[in-house]
């Protein structure tokens, strides 16, 4: 399989680097580009003197000018200096056990502990400190934000790292870092192509590897399930899809900036620009990929257990749709219409592992068939 990950040159628009690229390059930290990184838990990091930690930036094709990924490491028993940031920041725990404290205006901090596959959001302007509670193993965190987009509008990085504005109501709102609650929502969430009528709202999700409050993921195939997540007082949104062993989802496409992280499972994804060569990307826990703008992409579970992928959404206006309203059906490829190489490649991958596909034959014949979770034929 082809892997398109690694360091690269700055992204340029009309011959000039975007503000985020100029800032990130000046830090001297590694910047990982391409389509995919197979394991964020093992990539090489650089020393970030200003933040007193090892770190690296993730800027895969499709993120440019929209969203930032950043990996930071905390040594055993260590902690990071307190800092502030002028945009909301989502944090996903790649490995390790630790704690975060969040405060504002000198008031008592709110603290909570996390573990591998935890996800939480730190509100904009809040003071935050991260600590590693293990004396043996390092911690690795993935941070996600809309910082590149913010810099496009206001190209002054220090304004975001040394903000004068305080928003204590964001830190001390009732239920912050308590159990998420289920809310209703009419229509699509955050530009999500899945859409849906409900989502879970909260600032802390303890373990996405075992989260079981799911609903049917209609329309995407594989008899899959989904949970949609939003965060109080924030524009950040996400969803996580769970689909059975030895199956695969329908190909689809949307706008740029959607960072996909794997909490559990073993498989691969295929991505391609319409009419162009396909790129195959293997994944397992800790992998990350980004489908570029308007590229079709499709996810395959070649393991013996259900697979999970977590999609961190860009701002809503980047959700994307086909060029004309009457062409929106072109944003998804039904099983009967897919390139035969898709099914052939999937079955070949399973054969190498001594496994057989659980895809029902009816899925390849009946375009209108509604595949229910747990349904075999």
Q: What is the 3-state secondary structure (H, E, C) of 84-96?
A: ECCCCEEEEEEEC
Per-residue model confidence as pLDDT tens digits over 111-157? 999 999 999 999 999 999 999 999 999 999 999 999 999 999 999 99
Contact status, residue 144 vs residue 259, Cβ threshold 8 Å: yes
Cα separation of 190 and 195, whole Å?
Answer: 9
| Range 274-283 average pLDDT | 96
Contact status, residue 90 vs residue 238, Cβ threshold 8 Å: yes
Cα separation of 33 and 58, whole Å?
Answer: 7
Q: Which residue has the higher pLDDT, 316 or 15?
A: 316
Task: Provide the pLDDT confidence category of residue 371 given band limits of 50, 70 and 90.
Answer: confident
| Range 281-299 average pLDDT | 97
Tokens of 254: 């949307």
Is the pLDDT reported for residue 2 higher than 60? no
| pLDDT for the residue 323 | 42
| pLDDT for the residue 179 | 86
| pLDDT for the residue 8 | 43
Cα separation of 236 and 111, whole Å?
Answer: 21
Contact status, residue 125 vs residue 93, Cβ threshold 8 Å: no
| Range 72-82 average pLDDT | 97
Alpha carbon separation from 23 to 31, 49, 58, 128, 144 (Å, rounded): 11, 15, 14, 22, 16
Percent of the chain with pLDDT over 70: 89
SS3 328: helix
Cβ contacts of residue 273 below 8 Å, gap of 6+?
292, 294, 295, 296
| pLDDT for the residue 218 | 80
Alpha carbon separation from 347 to 75, 240, 300, 310, 364 (Å, rounded): 43, 25, 10, 25, 14
122: enclosing H helix or E strand: strand 119-122
User: What is the average pLDDT value for the chain, to the nearest integer?
Assistant: 90
Per-residue model confidence as pLDDT tens digits over 185-227? 544 443 333 445 578 999 999 999 999 999 998 888 898 999 9
Q: Which residue has the higher pLDDT, 327 or 354?
A: 354
| pLDDT for the residue 186 | 42
Question: For the ranges 98-107, 160-169, 196-205, 262-271, which has the lowest average pLDDT?
Answer: 196-205
252-287 as b/e, with b when 16 or more CB fall inside 10 Å? bbbbbbbbbbbbbbbbbbbbbeeeeebbbbbbebbb
| pLDDT for the residue 214 | 93
| pLDDT for the residue 327 | 53
| pLDDT for the residue 13 | 59
- Backbone φ, ψ for residue 362 (5° rounding): -60, -30
Per-residue model confidence as pLDDT tens digits over 6-44? 444 455 556 689 999 999 999 999 999 999 999 999 999
Q: Which residue has the higher pLDDT, 189 or 258?
A: 258
Cα separation of 124 and 105, whole Å?
Answer: 13
| pLDDT for the residue 330 | 80
Q: Which residue has the higher pLDDT, 233 or 369?
A: 233
Query: Looking at the chain, how many residues does it have?
Result: 377
DSSP annotation string for 154-166: S--HHHHHS----
Cα separation of 363 and 246, whole Å?
Answer: 14
| pLDDT for the residue 11 | 58
Task: Provide the pLDDT confidence category of residue 183 given band limits of 50, 70 and 90.
Answer: confident
Per-residue model confidence as pLDDT tens digits over 330-368? 899 999 999 999 999 999 999 999 999 999 999 999 988
SS3 335: helix
Is the pLDDT reported for residue 290 higher than 70? yes
Domains and CATH numbers, the chain: 5-171 (2.60.120.10), 181-365 (2.60.120.10)
| pLDDT for the residue 317 | 86
Tokens of 29: 């930290």
| pLDDT for the residue 193 | 37
Task: Provide the pLDDT confidence category of residue 235 given band limits of 50, 70 and 90.
Answer: very high
């Amino acid at each position: 399989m082809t892997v398109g990950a690694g360091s690269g040159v700055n992204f340029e628009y009309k011959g000039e680097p975007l503000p985020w690229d100029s800032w990130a390059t000046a830090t001297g930290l590694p910047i990982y580009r391409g389509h995919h990184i197979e394991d964020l838990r093992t990539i090489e990091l650089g020393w970030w003197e200003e933040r007193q930690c090892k770190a690296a930036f993730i800027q895969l094709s499709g993120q440019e000018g929209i969203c930032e990924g950043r990996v930071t490491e905390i040594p055993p028993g260590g902690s990071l200096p307190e800092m502030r940031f002028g945009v909301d920041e989502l944090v996903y725990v790649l490995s390790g056990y630790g704690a975060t404290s969040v405060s504002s205006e000198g008031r008592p901090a709110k603290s909570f502990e996390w573990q591998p596959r935890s996800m939480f959001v730190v509100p904009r302007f809040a003071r935050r400190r991260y600590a590693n509670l293990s004396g043996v193993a390092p911690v690795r965190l993935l941070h996600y934000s809309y910082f590149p987009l913010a810099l496009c509008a206001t190209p002054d990085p220090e304004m975001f790292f040394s903000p004068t504005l305080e928003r204590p109501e964001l830190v001390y709102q009732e239920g912050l870092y308590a159990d998420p609650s289920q809310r209703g929502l009419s229509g699509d969430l955050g530009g999500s192509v899945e859409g849906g009528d409900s989502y879970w709202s909260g600032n802390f999700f303890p373990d996405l590897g075992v989260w079981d409050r799911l609903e049917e993921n209609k329309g995407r195939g594989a008899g899959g399930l989904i949970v949609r997540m939003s965060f109080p007082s924030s524009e950040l949104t996400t969803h996580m899809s769970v689909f059975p062993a030895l199956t695969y989802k329908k190909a689809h496409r949307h706008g740029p900036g959607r960072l996909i992280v794997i909490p559990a499972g073993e498989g691969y994804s295929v991505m391609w620009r319409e009419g162009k060569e396909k790129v195959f990307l293997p994944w397992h826990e800790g992998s990350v990929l980004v489908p570029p703008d308007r590229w079709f992409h499709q996810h395959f579970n070649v393991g013996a257990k259900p697979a999970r992928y977590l999609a961190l959404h860009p701002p809503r206006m980047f959700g994307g749709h086909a060029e004309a309203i009457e062409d929106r059906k072109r944003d998804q490829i039904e099983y009967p219409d897919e390139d035969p190489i898709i099914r052939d490649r999937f079955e070949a991958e399973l054969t190498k592992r001594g496994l057989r596909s659980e895809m029902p034959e009816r899925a390849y014949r009946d375009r209108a068939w509604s595949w229910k979770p747990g349904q075999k034929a």
